[in-house]
């Protein structure tokens, strides 16, 4: 494996999967979502696969494909399986790898571990942020959670309309650079994903 990128978010439904597709396309990287909970017939892997136009990307099988759309620890209990970071083995590849988390960093995967435990020390962690009341707190808490584990935040990608005062204070207080912004789009198509991939590529390779 060359370089691995871990995509996480400040909350659920902030745009992680679309941004995972953009990063995957920009780098022509492989894509892997270790844990999928629910929506197995239209999983995040399926969604990303439909949006990628390069021929180099490979899509790796989920380590755990859980049936119920819930927090992984609860979905695993319903399915009668035990999720552990020790049994989640990264796929072997000679390519860059984009790893998409589930929800935010402290979403439990078991009674003792969270999504943050799936992050490797060599990962470039990309934090997806979206503006809403409380998002400054959630963004700074996510960065602090990473740093408390000895992990750096490589950069922030914003999803949605700009709020300059919010972004300025996050950058000032955290020192984390902004990779780019994904605007509100009527639809995310292959062409839209490629547009952002071309736009973000240089910052992703820094």
Confirm or deny that 17 is annotated as ligand binding: yes
User: Smallest Cα–Cα separation from 59: which of 69, 44, 76?
Assistant: 44
Contact 53, 189 (CB under 8 A): no
CB-side neighbour CA atoms (13 Å) of 30? 20
Confirm or deny that 155 is annotated as ligand binding: no
Confirm or deny that 57 is annotated as ligand binding: no
State the catalytic residues.
33
Confirm or deny that 13 is annotated as ligand binding: no
Confirm or deny that 28 is annotated as ligand binding: no
Contact 20, 42 (CB under 8 A): no
Phi, psi of 172 (to 5 degrees): -65, -40
Confirm or deny that 38 is annotated as ligand binding: no
Alpha helices in the chain (DSSP H): 16-27, 44-51, 72-79, 135-148, 164-174, 190-204
Confirm or deny that 202 is annotated as ligand binding: no
- Binding site, annotated residues: 17, 44, 100-103, 184
- Binding site, annotated residues for ATP: 44, 100-103, 184
- Binding site, annotated residues for Mg(2+): 17, 44, 100
């Amino acid at each position: 494996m060359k370089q691995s990128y871990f995509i996480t978010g400040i909350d659920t439904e902030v745009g992680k999967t679309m941004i995972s597709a953009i990063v995957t396309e920009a780098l022509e990287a492989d894509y892997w979502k270790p844990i999928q909970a629910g929506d197995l017939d239209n999983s995040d892997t399926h969604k990303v696969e439909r949006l990628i136009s390069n021929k180099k990307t490979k899509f790796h099988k989920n380590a755990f494909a859980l049936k119920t759309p819930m927090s992984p620890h609860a979905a695993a209990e319903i399915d009668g399986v035990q999720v552990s970071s020790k049994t989640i083995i990264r796929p072997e590849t000679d390519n860059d790898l984009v790893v998409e988390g589930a929800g935010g960093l402290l979403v439990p995967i078991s009674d003792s571990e969270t999504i943050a435990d799936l992050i490797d020390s060599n990962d470039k962690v990309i934090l997806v942020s979206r503006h809403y009341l409380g998002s400054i707190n959630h963004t700074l808490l996510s960065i602090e959670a990473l740093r408390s584990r000895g992990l750096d935040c490589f950069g922030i990608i914003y999803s949605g309309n700009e709020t300059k005062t919010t972004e300025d204070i996050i950058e000032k207080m955290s020192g984390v650079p902004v990779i780019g912004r994904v605007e509100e789009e009527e639809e995310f198509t292959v062409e839209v994903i490629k547009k952002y991939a071309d736009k973000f590529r240089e910052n992703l390779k820094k």
